[in-house]
Amino acid sequence: MTEKLWLKSYPKEVPTSLDYREIPLQQYLTEVAEKTPDDVAIYFMGKEVRFKELQQYAYKFANYLQKLGLQKGDRIAIMLPNTPQAVISFFGAMYAGCTVVMTNPLYTEREVAYQLKDSGAKLIVTLDILYPRIMKAWNETELEHIVVTGIKDFLPFPKNVVYPFMQKKEYGFKVSVEHHGVNHLFTEILRTTPETAPALDEAFDFNHDLALLQYTGGTTGFPKGVMLTHRNIVSNVQACAMWTTDYRVPEQEREQDIVLGVLPFFHVYGMTTVLALSVMKGLKMLLVPKFDATEMLKTIDKQKPTLFPGAPTIYIGILNHPELEKYDLSSIKACISGSAPLPVEVQEQFEKVTGGKLVEGYGLTETSPVTHGNFLWTDQRVKGSIGVPWPDTDAAIMDTITMTELPIGEVGEICIKGPQVMKGYWNRPEETAQTLRDGWLLTGDMGYMNEHGYFFVVDRKKDIIIAGGYNIYPREVEEVLYEHEAIQECVVIGVPDAYRGETVKAFIVLKEGATVSEDDLNRYCRQSLAAYKVPRIYEFREELPKTAVGKILRRQLIDEEKQKENDYLA
User: 3-state DSSP call for residue 213?
Assistant: strand
- Is the pLDDT at 493 greater than 50? The verdict is yes
- Is the pLDDT at 294 greater than 80? The verdict is yes
Q: What is the mean pLDDT of residues 368-373?
A: 97
478-502 core/surface letters (b: 16 or more CB in 10 A; e: else):
bbbbbebeebbbbbbbbbebeebeb
In terms of DSSP H, where are the helices of 68-101?
Answer: 84-95
State the SS3 of 337-392: ECCCCCCHHHHHHHHHHHCCEEEEEEECHHHCCEEEECCCCCCCCCCCCCEEECCC
Name every residue whose Cβ is closer than 8 Å to that of residue 498 and which is 6 or more positions away in sequence.
none
Q: Output DSSP code: residue 307.
A: B
Q: What is the mean pLDDT of residues 108-122?
A: 92
Contact between 416 and 393 under an 8 Å Cβ cutoff? The reply is: yes
Contact between 177 and 183 under an 8 Å Cβ cutoff? The reply is: yes
Record the pTM: 0.86
Condensed to tens digits (0 to 9), the pLDDT of residues 425-454 reads: 999 999 999 999 999 999 999 999 999 999
- HSE, side-chain direction, 13 A CA sphere, residue 11: 15
- Is the pLDDT at 315 greater than 80? The verdict is yes
What was the pLDDT predicted at 1? Answer: 57
What was the pLDDT predicted at 551? Answer: 83
Beta strand pairing call for 370-373 and 388-389: antiparallel
Condensed to tens digits (0 to 9), the pLDDT of residues 383-432 reads: 889 999 999 999 999 999 999 999 999 999 999 999 999 999 999 999 99
State the SS3 of 2-14: CCCHHHHHCCCCC
Taking Cα atoms as reference points, which of 287, 283, 308, 261 lies closest to residue 29? 283
* Domain chopping of the chain, boundaries: 48-203, 464-569
Taking Cα atoms as reference points, which of 414, 312, 412 lies closest to residue 360? 312
What was the pLDDT predicted at 219? Answer: 40
Condensed to tens digits (0 to 9), the pLDDT of residues 190-243 reads: 999 999 999 887 899 999 999 999 998 544 457 899 999 999 999 999 999 999
Helix axes 312-319, 293-303, angle to 10 degrees: 80
What was the pLDDT predicted at 379? Answer: 81
Alpha-carbon torsion (273, 279, 281, 287), positive or negative: positive
Alpha-carbon torsion (29, 33, 39, 41), positive or negative: positive
Count H helices, E strands: the chain? 17, 27
Architecture of domain 48-203: 3-Layer(aba) Sandwich (3.40)
Q: What is the mean pLDDT of residues 295-322?
A: 94
Any idea which of 164-173, 260-269, 345-354, 478-487 has the lowest mean pLDDT? 164-173
CATH number for the domain whose boundaries are 464-569: 3.30.300.30
User: 3-state DSSP call for residue 494?
Assistant: strand
Condensed to tens digits (0 to 9), the pLDDT of residues 60-74 reads: 999 999 999 999 999
- Is the pLDDT at 170 greater than 70? The verdict is no
- Is the pLDDT at 174 greater than 80? The verdict is no
Contact between 467 and 529 under an 8 Å Cβ cutoff? The reply is: no
